[in-house]
Chain A
Amino acid sequence: MNTLTYANIFTIGIAMLKAIIILIATVAGAGLLSWIERRVLGWWQDRYGPNRVGPFGIFQFGADMIKLFFKEDWTPPFADVFIFWLAPVIGMSALLFTMAVVPITPEWGITDSQVGLLFFLAMAGVAVYAVLFAGWASNSKYALLGGLRSAAQTLSYEVFMGIALMGVVMLANSFSLYTIIEAQKDGWFIVPQFLGFCAFVVAGVAVAHRSPFDLPEAEQELAAGFHTEYAGIKWAMFFVGEYVGVILVSALTVILFFGGWQEPALLGYKLWPDFLPVYPFIWFALKTSIFIMLFILIRAALPRPRYDQIMDAGWKFFLPLSLANLLITAAVILLQQPVAGGA
């Protein structure tokens, strides 16, 4: 039996502390994002947005949270109680779990899993249950229709999301997100994997249920969709889950296609001179913020398409596109190999 020294226990304790810090930072970021989104949307729509609580309204999130905690915790008498309570927990935690495999900097990240990318795909699949359970357990027609739509939409987009990411996996030869970032030292994957990037961003928006893929909660047709019967903190947990999804998909886009914490490099050329200092966290945060802003801009700029158009786009356009991208990537990799390996 191996014994742990105090130094080892200290190392493990630090790792656990980092995990807690990452959790708190992600949830706080998701809460802050609710204020940022309202402010920025207001700015783009030529109005103020929340600007009263604290400087620029930055404490609006805290005020909202306190209000939500004191709201009545109402479970409808017609609902299936256990599943009704379970749905918001899945909605908030499923995508949050995925943060465990996200490398923020070389030192900051919870675990370097060999199957990091597969873990993300699995958790994105689990997240569907939140919406499905919420829709079914509410026992309300709007909620049921919203839940069904969401399930069908998310399933359709998850099919090609995985295939679109396999081009990146081929280039890096690994599912580990750390290895994928290391493989982009000399050139970000955005250039060789542009088609995969397009497909992933569309699928990511759909999986996070963000506009224009927020058909499950299309206000004009289905009231609030799957969370029509939810109130107070349970509703807020779906909301936190949505913002965690935005952060996560943005972070993954950066990791998979834009070099993660690394400084810019394209096609073998480093665009950041070696003598300048490097701040991995700043690069990661900067790139991720850009994609979060893109999410909000998409919501502000694009109208919501019809449901049949969304399903058509998924099955008839993006699925063949991802398969083609996969084959082209494989062919290029094999053509670039110096000699067909003797085996």
Chain B
Amino acid sequence: MLTPDKIDSLAQQWALGTFIVATLLLCAAMLAVSYYLGGRYQGRAKNDPFESGIVSVGSAQLRLSAKFYLIGMFFVIFDVEALFLYAWAVAVREVGWPGFIEACIFIVVLFIGLIYIWRIGALAWSPEARRNKSPVSTNNHLPSNHANQTGVMS
């Protein structure tokens, strides 16, 4: 015979399965209904990518600033750190002070890593030439420079 606990966990598993399947079915149904109900129209410039009214030039598979890839790498480094800390978080009472000291050493090492990537400028979004300039003093007479200060994709 099944115990009430077993039945409860079985019910939860079935409920979870139902929930996931129903969510995916709902998404599929929304897409399908709209596919059949929606109209079909033709227009002269309809099949151009939207670029605020300017005719698109070249491919959209652009070469991108390497900073985005750097962020990806930092994420991997620091999220792996976080994983070890997750494991420590549920065991903090069992491992006690020795574990605390070890976690401190671990965090300090990674903190040094953070300060290192900070110091070499890997977390700075503007190029080196434009860094360390106060936005008020230098840009009053230089409108082009001011435009650069607000630039994001540089």
Query: Quick check: B123 and A315 within 8 Å, CB to CB?
Result: yes
Complex: chain B residue closest to A8, CB-CB? B7
**Alpha-carbon distance between A69 and B31 when the two chains are bound, in angstroms:** 9
In the complex, per-residue mask of A254-283: 1 if CB is within 8 Å of any chain B CB, else 0: 000000000000000000000000000000
Which of B15, B47, B51, B88 is the one whose CB lies under 8 Å from A76? B47
Measured in the bound complex, the distance between the Cα atoms of B84 and A162 in whole Å is: 11
User: A151 within 8 Å of B by Cβ?
Assistant: yes
Which residue among A2, A174, A236 has the maximum number of chain B CB atoms within 10 Å of its CB? Answer: A2
Candidates A15, A78, A221, A237; contact of B30 at CB < 8 Å: A237
Bound form: Cα–Cα A341–B95 in Å: 9
Smallest beta-carbon distance A78→chain B, Å: 6
B90 at the interface (CB under 8 A from A): yes
Of all chain A residues, the one with the shortest Cβ separation from B78 is: A159
Bound-state Cα–Cα, A145 to B52, Å? 14
Q: What is the minimal beta-carbon distance from B24 to any residue of chain A, in angstroms?
A: 6
In whole angstroms, what is the CA distance A228 to B52 when docked? Answer: 10
CA of A141 to CA of B37 in the docked complex: distance in angstroms? 30
**Complex: chain A residue closest to B124, CB-CB:** A308
Question: In the complex, are the beta carbons of B11 and A15 less than 8 A apart?
Answer: yes
Check if B111 sits within 8 Å of A323, measured CB to CB.
yes
Please tell me if A61 contacts chain B, counting CB pairs below 8 Å: no
A233 touches B93 (CB 8 A): no
Interface-forming stretch among A17-25, A40-48, A183-191, A199-207? A17-25
Query: A268 to nearest B CB, angstroms?
Result: 19
CB < 8 Å A-B pair total: 232
Residues of chain B with a CB closer than 8 A to A70's CB: 37-39
Q: A155-B75, A233-B31 are in contact. Are A69 and B37 (CB under 8 A)?
A: yes
Interface size on A, residues (CB 8 A): 91
Option from A14, A100, A141, A308 in Cβ contact (under 8 Å) with B51: A141
State whether the Cβ of B129 lies closer than 8 Å to any Cβ in chain A: no
Which of A51-59, A295-303, A328-336 lies at the binding interface?
A328-336
Which of B1, B33, B50 has most chain A Cβ within 10 Å? Answer: B50
**Complex interface: chain A residues within 8 A of B37 (CB):** 69-70
- Residue-wise, chain A 135-159 has the 8 Å CB interface mask toward B (1 for contact) of 0001111111100110110011011
A340 with B96: in contact, given A18-B15, A72-B41, A319-B78 (CB under 8 Å)? yes
- B18-A19 in contact (CB<8A): yes
**Cβ–Cβ < 8 Å partners of A307 in chain B:** 125, 152
A89 CB-CB contact with B under 8 Å: yes
Contact status A169-B86, CB under 8 Å: yes
Quick one: which of B27, B61, B92, B123 contacts A139, CB cutoff 8 A? B61
Please determine whether B60 and A141 come into contact, CB atoms closer than 8 angstroms.
yes
Whether A233 contacts B75 by the Cβ 8 Å rule is no
A-B contact pairs, 21 of them (CB 8 A): A4-B2, A15-B15, A70-B37, A71-B38, A97-B20, A142-B50, A152-B72, A156-B71, A156-B75, A159-B82, A166-B82, A229-B49, A232-B34, A233-B30, A233-B34, A236-B30, A237-B27, A306-B150, A308-B152, A323-B107, A326-B107
**Interface set of A (CB-CB < 8 Å, partner B):** 2, 4, 8, 11-12, 14-16, 18-20, 22-23, 27, 68-74, 76-78, 85, 88-89, 92-93, 96-97, 99-100, 110-112, 118, 138-145, 148-149, 151-152, 155-156, 158-159, 162-163, 166-167, 169-170, 173-175, 221, 223, 228-229, 232-234, 236-237, 306-308, 311-312, 315-316, 319-320, 323, 326-327, 330-331, 333-334, 337, 340-341, 343
